[in-house]
Amino acid sequence: MGKKINRIEGSDPINVKITLFKNGKFIAYIYDISCKSENTGTYKQIDTLLTLEFEDQKSKYLGAKYKIENDSVKCLDCNLDLRLKITTPNN
């Protein structure tokens, strides 16, 4: 997809990894006890607001709007209270 710039991840209450690429695309992996799902699409970041636009139907665990505060990321429209952090990806 291109050069990774950030990864957003968390494991409470489910495992989520969202990798943001320099070209404006993202890939998200969601792992729970019974399955793994993958979502792709594009993103836009304006100041502390991150908006994901999904290519296909999004996972029920993900939202489209996130607020970034330092290294913490809060989902503004998720069904679950995800605890996410920004980490540096391995390229």
CATH of the domain at 12: 2.40.128
Sequential DSSP letters for the chain:
---EEEEEEE-SSSEEEEEEETTSEEEEEEE-SS-EEEEEEEEEEETTEEEEEESSPPPTT--SEEEEETTEEEESS-SS---EEEEPPP-
Tell me what the pLDDT averaged over the chain comes to. Answer: 87
Residue 80 has a pLDDT of 83
User: Binning pLDDT at 50, 70 and 90, where does residue 91 land?
Assistant: low
- Structural domains of the chain, count: 1
List the domain range (segments joined by +) for residue 62: 4-87
Residue with more model confidence, 82 or 28: 28
